């Protein structure tokens, strides 16, 4: 019997934490859910790193005149290019992680993304996520798709099922919080099993203790380099 084909569907995020990449690794097909409503106070345009004074936010500014961004799908949210956010973010990453063991190795891969003139938030976050997965974490088996390019409509569970069907998946993996709202019967009726992630990761030596598990995966990668996967899925 062939191995189940796994689909994961997540909203694109900025420099996600290691749990996000654990889901990427688990997926045969990973779908960026980029045409659902943008959530202003979520992780779409920000994440945290661990600095000398504790955890700190890196936030990509977006245009929100008249609260327009609240009602837009993620893939239509525009970056506020009048702010010099990219140079500031790269300077902060260099200051915080410049002396970590693997920053010099990975910086040439990441820096070009901070030099490109991105206008749409999703273009930036998706490009960075794929680069981290492919080139920093060596995830080569996962195929990336965007929900906005699949031509699938619907709401909540029904649309997730349809996306899995488009991916020819027989297994859907989701974060644990989805258990409170997913209608698993719809998946079962379509011949798709549902599994939930368990985010249980070992600590590693951060440059600036005490340990904070909920920071960008870059913190882990810059500290441990090729050993980083052992602290995500190889455990």
Tens-digit pLDDT profile for the chain (235 aa)?
467 799 999 999 999 999 999 999 999 999 999 999 999 889 999 999 999 999 999 999 999 765 455 679 999 999 999 999 999 999 999 999 999 999 999 999 999 999 999 999 999 999 999 999 999 999 999 999 999 999 998 878 999 999 999 999 999 999 999 998 899 999 999 999 999 999 999 999 999 999 999 999 999 999 999 999 999 997 6
Nearest to 85 by CA among 114, 47, 108: 114
Is residue 209 situated within a structural domain?
yes
The answer to whether 31 touches 147, Cβ cutoff 8 Å, is yes
Number of domains comprising the chain? 1
Nearest to 190 by CA among 208, 164, 213: 164
Which string of b and e fits 118-141 if b means at least 16 CB within 10 Å? Answer: bebbbebbbebbbbbbeebbebee
Give me the pLDDT at residue 156, please: 85
Is residue 44 situated within a structural domain?
yes
Give me the pLDDT at residue 32, please: 98
Is residue 42 situated within a structural domain?
yes
Is residue 1 situated within a structural domain?
no
Structure tokens at 200: 């249980």
Give me the pLDDT at residue 67, please: 47
41 three-state secondary structure: coil
DSSP 230: G
The answer to whether 27 touches 142, Cβ cutoff 8 Å, is yes
- What is the domain range of residue 224? 6-231
Structure tokens at 224: 């441990």
Give me the pLDDT at residue 188, please: 96
Give me the pLDDT at residue 41, please: 85
H-helix or E-strand spanning residue 143: strand 143-146
Model confidence, pTM: 0.95
Residues 6+ apart with CB under 8 A from 181: 156, 157
- CA–CA separation, 209 and 201 (whole Å): 17
Is residue 151 situated within a structural domain?
yes
Most distant CA pair in the chain, distance: 55
* Parallel, antiparallel or unpaired: strands 29-32 and 46-51: unpaired
Is residue 39 situated within a structural domain?
yes
Is residue 188 situated within a structural domain?
yes
- CA–CA separation, 229 and 235 (whole Å): 9
Give me the pLDDT at residue 64, please: 78
> How far is CA 151 from its chain centroid?
22
Give me the pLDDT at residue 153, please: 86
Is residue 182 situated within a structural domain?
yes
């Amino acid at each position: 019997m062939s191995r189940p084909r796994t689909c994961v569907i997540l909203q694109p995020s900025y420099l996600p934490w290691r749990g996000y990449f654990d889901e990427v690794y688990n997926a045969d097909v990973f779908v960026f859910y980029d045409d659902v409503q943008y959530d202003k106070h979520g992780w779409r345009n920000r994440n945290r790193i661990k600095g000398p004074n504790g955890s700190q936010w890196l936030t990509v500014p977006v245009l929100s005149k008249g609260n327009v961004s609240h009602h837009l799908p993620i893939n239509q949210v525009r970056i506020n290019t009048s702010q010099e956010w990219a140079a500031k973010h790269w300077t902060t990453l260099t200051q915080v992680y410049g002396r970590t063991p693997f920053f010099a190795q990975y910086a040439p891969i990441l820096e070009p993304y901070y030099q490109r003139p991105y206008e749409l938030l999703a273009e930036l976050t998706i490009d960075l996520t794929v680069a981290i997965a492919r080139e920093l974490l060596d995830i080569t088996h996962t195929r990336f798709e965007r929900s906005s390019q699949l031509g699938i409509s619907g709401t909540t569970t029904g649309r997730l099922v349809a996306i899995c069907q488009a991916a020819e998946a027989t297994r859907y993996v989701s974060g644990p919080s989805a258990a409170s709202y997913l209608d698993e019967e719809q998946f079962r009726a379509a011949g798709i099993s549902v599994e939930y992630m368990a985010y249980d990761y070992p600590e590693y030596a951060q440059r600036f203790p005490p340990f904070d598990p909920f920071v960008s995966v870059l913190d882990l990668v810059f500290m441990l380099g090729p050993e980083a996967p052992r602290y995500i899925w190889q455990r």
